[in-house]
Amino acid sequence: MKYGIAIFPSKKIQDFANSYRKRYDPHYALITPHVTLKEGFEIADDQVDDVAKDLVQVAKQTKPFSINISKVSTFSPVTNTIYLKIDPNESLTSLHNQLNKVEATPEKDTFQFVPHITIAQKLSDDEYSDVYGSLRMMDVSFEDLVDRFQLLYQLDNGSWTVYETFRLGEE
Amino acid sequence: MKYGIAIFPSKKIQDFANSYRKRYDPHYALITPHVTLKEGFEIADDQVDDVAKDLVQVAKQTKPFSINISKVSTFSPVTNTIYLKIDPNESLTSLHNQLNKVEATPEKDTFQFVPHITIAQKLSDDEYSDVYGSLRMMDVSFEDLVDRFQLLYQLDNGSWTVYETFRLGEE
Tell me the mean pLDDT in the region A130-145: 94
> Does the pLDDT value for residue A22 go beyond 70?
yes
- Tell me the C-alpha distance between B114 and B87, whole Å: 9
Of B15, B30, B155, the CB nearest to A155: B15
Answer with the residue of higher pLDDT: A122 or B170: A122
Nearest residue in chain B measured CA to CA from A32: B161
Q: Collect all residues of chain B within an 8 Å Cβ-Cβ radius of residue A32.
A: 155, 159-161
Question: Which chain B residue is nearest to residue A1, measuring alpha carbons?
Answer: B11
- Residue B101: the pLDDT is 84
Predicted confidence at residue A170, as pLDDT, reads 74
- Which residues are within 8 A (CB) of A139 and not within 5 positions of it... i.e. 6 or more apart? none
- State which residues form the domain around B66: 2-167
Confidence of residue A110 (pLDDT cuts 50, 70, 90): low
pLDDT surpasses 70 at B108: no
Contacts of B167 in chain A (CB under 8 A): 164
In whole angstroms, how far apart are CA B53 and each of A9, B9, B95, B158, B166?
Answer: 21, 23, 16, 26, 10
% residues pLDDT > 70 (chain B): 94
Number of other CB atoms surrounding residue B39 within 10 Å: 16
Mean pLDDT of chain A: 93
Interface of A with B in 32-91 (CB under 8 A): 32
Are residues A163 and B159, on separate chains, in Cβ contact within 8 Å?
no
Q: How many domains does chain A have?
A: 1
Distance CA B167, CA B171 (A): 9
Q: What pLDDT, on a 0 to 100 scale, did the predictor assign at position A32?
A: 97
B18 → closest Cβ in A22, A150, A157: A157
* Strand bridging mode B148-154 / B2-7: antiparallel
Is the distance from CB of B145 to CB of B63 less than 8 angstroms?
Answer: no
Contact A156 B29 (CB under 8 A): no
CB interface of A with B, residues 105-164, below 8 Å? 148, 150, 153, 155-157, 159-164
pLDDT value of position A112:
81
Q: Residue A163: which pLDDT band, with cuts at 50, 70 and 90? A: very high
For residue A28, is pLDDT > 70? yes
The arithmetic mean of pLDDT across residues A97-113, rounded, is 69
**B5-45 pLDDT, tens digit each:** 999 999 999 999 999 999 999 999 999 999 999 999 999 98
Cα separation of A85 and A74, whole Å?
A: 9
- Cβ atoms B43, B104 nearer than 8 A: yes
User: What is the CATH classification number for the domain harbouring A140?
Assistant: 3.90.1140.10
Q: Test B155 with A22 for CB contact under 8 angstroms.
A: no
B113 vs A170: which has the higher pLDDT: B113
Indicate whether A40 pLDDT > 70: yes
Q: In this complex, is the C-beta atom of A24 within 8 Å of any C-beta atom belonging to chain B?
A: no
Catalytic residue status for B34 = yes
Provide the 10 A C-beta neighbour count for residue A19. Answer: 13
Distance between A77 CA and the closest CA of chain B, angstroms: 30
* CA A51 to each of CA A46, A147, B7, B163: distance values in angstroms, whole numbers, following the listed order: 10, 20, 21, 20
pLDDT value, residue A107: 52
Count other C-beta atoms under 10 Å from residue B63's C-beta: 10
- Cα separation, A63 vs A59, in Å, equals 8
Which of A106-115, B54-63, B103-112 reaches the highest mean pLDDT?
B54-63
Chain B residues lying within 8 Å of A150, measured CB to CB: 162, 165
Residue B35 pLDDT: 97
Chain A CA closest to residue B159: A32
- In this structure, the number of other CB atoms found within 10 A of the CB of residue B144 comes to 17
pTM: 0.92
Residue B102 pLDDT grade (very low, low, confident, very high; cuts 50, 70, 90): confident
Q: What is the pLDDT of residue B107?
A: 52
- The pLDDT score that the predictor gives to residue A162 is 97
The predicted structure's pLDDT at residue B84? 97
Q: Which of B21, B34, B85, B96 is catalytic?
A: B34
